[in-house]
Amino acid sequence: MHLLALLLILAGSASGLGCGGRRAVPAPAHTLTLGWQRLVDEAGATCPRCGSTEREIKRAAAELKRLLAPDGIAVRVEAERIDQTAFRKAPLESNRIWVDGRPLEDWLGATVSSSDCTGCCDGEQCRTLVIDGRTYESIPAEIIVRAGLLAAAGKERRNPDATGSPASSGKGE
């Protein structure tokens, strides 16, 4: 009886089926990393701008997973918190996005700018991006997806086994 079960498992593996007759899922050839950092205050709150970008990153990650899975590319989001002290020193570092370790603005030829922000930012001049003449305070999923697709295409051409990620402070979520 054990020999028959072993033969069935081996036959399933040879046909691409795993245990229980399910198709085996290949390991991703590459993981595309979306890195993002934003101010989070002592109460765990962030500003409306960063809150909106957080929702958009989640939407973009889901769309990129759908689009890139057939090519064996996985998608991971790494979110970092910036505390008030670090934010006061460099407010333009909040609401910053990286795609495979490279700033979003580099992938898209965008310009970094700033505007007054509300909430826990206390009216500081916070990061905006200017893309094709339009200023974005919150970064839409479509823009993140566009950069992700460019990164995935570039990675495939250079080295599909390489991975990239934003600089990590070890305080990821």
Choose among 149, 122, 103: nearest CA to 39: 122
pLDDT tens-digit readout, 83-139: 989 998 999 999 999 999 999 999 999 999 998 888 888 778 889 999 999 999 999
Query: Is pLDDT at 9 greater than 50 in this prediction?
Result: no
Give residue 41's pLDDT.
Answer: 87
* pLDDT bucket at 13, cuts 50 / 70 / 90: very low
Of the given ranges (8-17, 26-35, 76-85), which has the lowest mean pLDDT? 8-17
Q: Which two tokens stand for residue 142?
A: 């479509």
Give residue 131's pLDDT.
Answer: 94
pLDDT tens-digit readout, 41-97: 888 889 888 999 999 999 999 999 999 999 999 999 999 999 989 998 999 999 999
Query: Could you report how far apart the first and last alpha carbons of the chain are, in Å?
Result: 48
> In b/e form, how buried is each residue of 120-157, taking b as 16+ CB within 10 angstroms?
bbeebebbbbebeeeebbbbebebbbbbbbbbbeebee
Query: Is pLDDT at 159 greater than 50 in this prediction?
Result: no
- For 36, how many CA atoms within 13 A lie in the half-sphere containing its CB? 22
Q: What is the pTM of this model?
A: 0.73
Choose among 128, 144, 70, 123: nearest CA to 95: 128
